[in-house]
Structure 1
Amino acid sequence: MAQKTASETGATRDQWTGQFGFLMAAVGSAIGLGNIWRFPGVAYSNGGGAFLLPYLFALLGVGIPILLLDYALGHKYRGSAPLTFKRLHAKAEFLGWWQVMVSAIITVYYAVVIAWSAAYAYYSVNLAWKQNAQKFFLEEYLQLDGKSLVAFTPVLPVLVPLALIWILVILVLSQGVSKGVEAANKLFLPLLVVLFVAIVVRALFLPGAMEGINEFFRPDWAALLNGKVWLAAVSQIFFSMSIAFGIMLTYASYLPRRFNLTGTGLVAGFANSSFEILAGIGVFATLGFMAHQEHVTVAELDGISGPILSFVTFPTVIAMMPGGALFGILFFTSLTIAGVTSLLSLLQLISGSFQDKFGWSAKTVAVGMGVIMSVVSVAFFATTTGLTTLDVVDSFINNIGVVTAAIAMVVLAFVVKPRLRALRYHLNATSSIKIHWIWEYAIGVLAPLVLSVILFLALVDYLTVGYGGYGVTDPKLLIFGWGSIGFAAVSSAVLTWMKWSPNAKHEPIVRFAGEE
Structure 2
Amino acid sequence: MKRSEWGSRVGFVLAAIGSAIGLGNIWRFPYLCYENGGGAFLIPYLVALFTAGIPLLILEFGVGHERIGSAPLAFRKIGKQWEWLGWWPLLFTMFGIVLYYSVVIAWCIDFLFYSVKLAWGADSEAFFFKQFLQVSSGPTEISTIRTPILFGLLAVWALTWVIIMRGVSKGVELANMIFMPLLFVLTLVLVFWSLNLEGSMTGIVAYLKPDFSKLMDPKVWVSAYGQIFFTLSLGFGIMITYASYMPEKSNMTGSALITALVNSGFSLISGFGVFSILGFMATTQNVPVDEVVKESIGLAFIVYPKAISMIGDFGPMFGMLFFLSLTVAGVSSAISIVEAFASGLEDKFSINRKMLATLLCFLGFTGGVIFTTNGGLFWLDIVDHFINNYGLVLAGILECIVVGWFFNLDQIRKHLNKVSKIQLGPWWNWIIKLFLPLSLSVILLNQLIRELTTAYGGYTWASLIGIGWSWIVITFLVAFILAAQPWRTENHLEKGRGDEL
> What TM-score do you get using the length of structure 2 for normalisation?
0.97
CA contact (8 A) 1:358 1:504 kept: no
Residue 85 of structure 1: aligned partner: 75
Runs of 4+ in 1 over 3 A off after TM superposition: 502-508
Residue 476 of structure 1: aligned partner: 463
Q: 1:100 aligns with which of 66, 83, 90?
A: 90
Residue 130 of structure 1: aligned partner: 121
CA contact (8 A) 1:66 1:244 kept: no
Of 403-412 and 361-370, the range deviating more from structure 2: 361-370
Structure 2 distance, partners of 1:146, 1:393, is: 18
Residue 386 of structure 2: aligned partner: 396
Distance 1:292 1:49, change over 3 A: same
More helix by share: 2
Distance 1:416 1:505, change over 3 A: closer
1:176 positional shift? 0.6
Residue 420 of structure 1: aligned partner: 409
Q: What residue identity is the alignment partner of 1:442?
A: I
Q: What residue identity is the alignment partner of 2:77?
A: R
1:30 and 2:29 correspond: no
Q: RMSD of the alignment, in Å?
A: 1.3
Structure 2 distance, partners of 1:25, 1:441, is: 29
CA contact (8 A) 1:78 1:506 kept: no
1:414 positional shift? 1.6
1:300 positional shift? 2.6
**1:258-407 correspondence to structure 2 within 5 Å:** 258-303=249-294, 305-322=295-312, 323-378=314-369, 380-407=370-397
Q: What residue identity is the alignment partner of 2:468?
A: G
Residue 6 of structure 1: aligned partner: none
Residue 169 of structure 2: aligned partner: 178
Q: 2:454 aligns with which of 456, 465, 476?
A: 465
Q: What residue identity is the alignment partner of 1:440?
A: N
Residue 121 of structure 1: aligned partner: 112
1:146 positional shift? 2.1
Corresponding residue SS for 2:53: helix
Structure 2 distance, partners of 1:355, 1:98, is: 16
Q: What residue identity is the alignment partner of 1:85?
A: F
> % of aligned pairs identical?
42
Distance 1:507 1:192, change over 3 A: farther
Unaligned runs of 5+ in 2: none
Structure 2 distance, partners of 1:440, 1:449, is: 14
Distance 1:506 1:281, change over 3 A: farther
Residue 3 of structure 1: aligned partner: none
Q: What residue identity is the alignment partner of 1:443?
A: I
Distance 1:21 1:148, change over 3 A: closer
Residue 186 of structure 2: aligned partner: 195
Residue 230 of structure 2: aligned partner: 239
Cα shift readout 1:357-394 (whole Å, capped 9, x = no counterpart): 1111221211111111211111x111111111100000
1:429 and 2:418 correspond: yes
CA contact (8 A) 1:13 1:506 kept: no
Q: What residue identity is the alignment partner of 1:482?
A: W
Residue 454 of structure 1: aligned partner: 443
1:511 positional shift? 2.0
> What TM-score do you get using the length of structure 1 for normalisation?
0.95
Unaligned runs of 5+ in 1: 1-10
Aligned length: 499
Q: What residue identity is the alignment partner of 1:227?
A: P
Distance 1:268 1:502, change over 3 A: closer
